[in-house]
Amino acid sequence: MSEQFLSVRDAIIQRRSIKKFNGQPVDREDLLEVIDDAVWAPNHGNREPWRLVVACGKELYALHDLLRDVTVPKWQELSNEELTKQMTKFTLAGGYAFIIVPEDARQKERLEDYAAASIFIQNIQLLAWDRGIGSCWKTPAFLDQPKFREALEVQPGERVIAMLQVGYFDEVPKGKERKKSEDIVTIYGQ
């Protein structure tokens, strides 16, 4: 794969969440390289409060089965065609990373860890984007389901905070307008 090198600013501004992937698989090595760079996210006390479960390539098939089981009730009663249609939102992604964060009993640490893991995820998204790999951070309710947690071997005291779908795409969606600094900033003392 050809590496691109966007400026930090361009990566931040140009990255869009990709919700329509084209089915091209993501090479696991590419995703692991991205993760190895993304870990340089700031995090309090160097706790590095994250771990991941990744699926790319052939492990995707088993993951699709799990996603089907937790999201399509009575899937056995559907026609192949209908099931395939309902599953495309999962099957067209070229890879998955589930980000797992410890849930510290202390509120301050828990919030810090969530904040740090969020930066880590943004790093993954930006670094992937730089390689032409799109992503979308998703938080479906099934991330907290016991059956799903068990399949990912999520331990008590841990939480899956993101299903990060990664993959290739044919179109970049238009970004929604953002507020300007004048809308969100109050100058101190004025």
Tell me how far, at minimum, the Cβ of 121 lies from ligand FMN, in Å.
Answer: 8
Residues forming beta bridges with residue 99, ordered by sequence position? 52, 162
**11/27 with CB nearer ligand FMN:** 11
List Cα–Cα distances, 7 to 10, 15, 32, 127, in angstroms.
5, 12, 21, 11
- What is residue 33's DSSP assignment? H
Residues forming beta bridges with residue 138, ordered by sequence position? 163
**42/175 with CB nearer ligand FMN:** 175
SS3 13: helix
Give the C-alpha separation, 51 to 97, whole Å. 10
Tell me how far, at minimum, the Cβ of 188 lies from ligand FMN, in Å.
Answer: 28
Residue number with the smallest Cβ distance to ligand FMN: 17
Chain residues binding ligand FMN by CB under 6 A are: 16-17, 19, 136-140, 175
**110/138 with CB nearer ligand FMN:** 138
Tell me how far, at minimum, the Cβ of 41 lies from ligand FMN, in Å.
Answer: 15
Least Cα distance to 19 among 176, 160, 122, 171 occurs for: 171
Tell me how far, at minimum, the Cβ of 190 lies from ligand FMN, in Å.
Answer: 30
